[in-house]
Amino acid sequence: MIRTVIFLLSLFSLSAQAVTLPELQQRFSQQPVLRADFSQQRTISGMSLPLNSSGNLLIARKKGLWWQQEKPFPLTLLLTENRMVQTMAGQPPQVVTADSNPQMFQFSALLTALFQADQQALEHNFALNFSDKGQGAWQLILTPKTAPLNRLFRTITLNGQEYLNLIDIKDMQGDETHIRFFNQRTEPAALTDAELAHFDR
């Protein structure tokens, strides 16, 4: 009971103060589990139609990220502390471990860093530009400063308020990706057995 009061108080004080990145990181790291739906639109230059996809994701602290694209075809991406598994129908799972392919792994680990606003991990690869948009809304613009990221992305922009709501990725080649997150929920705070099985597999 007391804990809930303190939590509410802290939420209240949060919105009263200006948002900072360390604080955001602190806040995100306090969410043991985050579930959300996403819809993604990728615009590739030279192609008439944008590529739309959607699905859901699950971030569990100390476990990793479970990204499940449902449409237009199922594709799952599991990202844990030391391995990344990409699964597509009809194909053997593609496993990348931190040991076998640190390059690729480092790249994928960025994804987790984005969701957790992990300042240290991001600062290693990007110049950060954080701004408070008022009423608890914030924006973080990432400009890659190391190769090979700087040859792939122009900027990665994160927008959010209580949660991360939008990722805009501008590629060097003029392509763009927008990922919108919605229906974010932190409850139930524990993983179901089925969810646990994804990570421990």
Partner 1 sequence: MPSWPILTAERHRQLAFGWLFICLMLVAALFWLLPRSQINSSVLALLPKQQLQGVPDDLSRGFSQRLDRQLMWLVSPPAGQGSEAALEWLTMLRQLPALRQVEGPMDTQHQQQWGEFFFQHRNALLDDATRHRLQNSAQAQSQWILGQMYSAFAGVSGKELASDPLLLVRGSQLAQQQSSGGMILDNGWLTARDKQGRSWYLIHAELNASSYDITSSKQIVASLNGLEQSFRQRFPGAEVLQRGTLFYSNYASQQAEHDISTLGLTSVAGVFLLILLVFRSVLPLLLSLLSIAIGALTGTVFTLAIFGEIHVMTLVLSTSIIGISADYTLYFLTERRVHGGQSSPLESLKKLFPALSMALLTTVAAYLMLLIAPFPGLQQLAVFAAFGLSAACFTVMCWYPLLAKNLPVGPAPGLALFRSWLNAWQHGRVLRMGLPLIVVGLILAGFSQLKINDDIGDLQALPKDLQQQERQIAALTGQTNDQKWLVVYGKNAEQTLQRLEALRPKLQQAKARGVLDGYRLINLPSQKQQQEDLNLLRQRAPEVLSQLAQAGVTLKPADLSPQWVTPPAWLESVVSQGWRLLWLSLPDGRTATLIPVSGVHDSAAMSELAAKAEGVGWIDRKTEFSQLFSQYRVMLSLLLTLAVTLIAGVYLWRFRLPHGLVCLVPTLLSLGMGIAALAFSGHSLNLFSLLALILVLGIGINYTLFFTNPRGTPTTSMLAIFMAVVTTQLTFGMLVFSSTQAISSFGIVLSAGIFTAFLLSPLTLPASKSGSAS
Q: Which residues bind partner 1 (CB under 8 A)?
A: 40, 42, 44-49, 51, 53, 69, 72-73, 75, 86, 88-91, 94, 96, 99-104, 106-108, 110-111, 146-148, 152-153, 167, 169, 171-175, 177, 179
In the complex, the smallest distance separating the C-beta of residue 21 from partner 1, rounded to whole angstroms, is 20
- DSSP labels for 74-93? -EEEEE-SSEEEEEETTS--
Nearer to partner 1, 117 or 191 (CB): 117
In the complex, the smallest distance separating the C-beta of residue 177 from partner 1, rounded to whole angstroms, is 5
Among candidates 52, 19, 90, 56, which has minimal Cα distance to 184?
56
51-60 and 64-71 strand pairing: antiparallel
In the complex, the smallest distance separating the C-beta of residue 50 from partner 1, rounded to whole angstroms, is 10
Nearer to partner 1, 28 or 153 (CB): 153
Here the tokens at position 110 are 């960025």
Nearer to partner 1, 14 or 98 (CB): 98
Nearer to partner 1, 26 or 100 (CB): 100
Helical spans, DSSP H, in the chain: 2-16, 21-29, 102-116, 119-125, 149-152, 193-200
In the complex, the smallest distance separating the C-beta of residue 159 from partner 1, rounded to whole angstroms, is 15
Q: Helix 21-29 crosses helix 102-116 at what angle (to 10 degrees)?
A: 100
Whether the CB-CB separation of 147 and 125 falls below 8 Å is answered with no
Nearer to partner 1, 25 or 41 (CB): 41
In the complex, the smallest distance separating the C-beta of residue 120 from partner 1, rounded to whole angstroms, is 10
d(CA 200, CA 180): 28
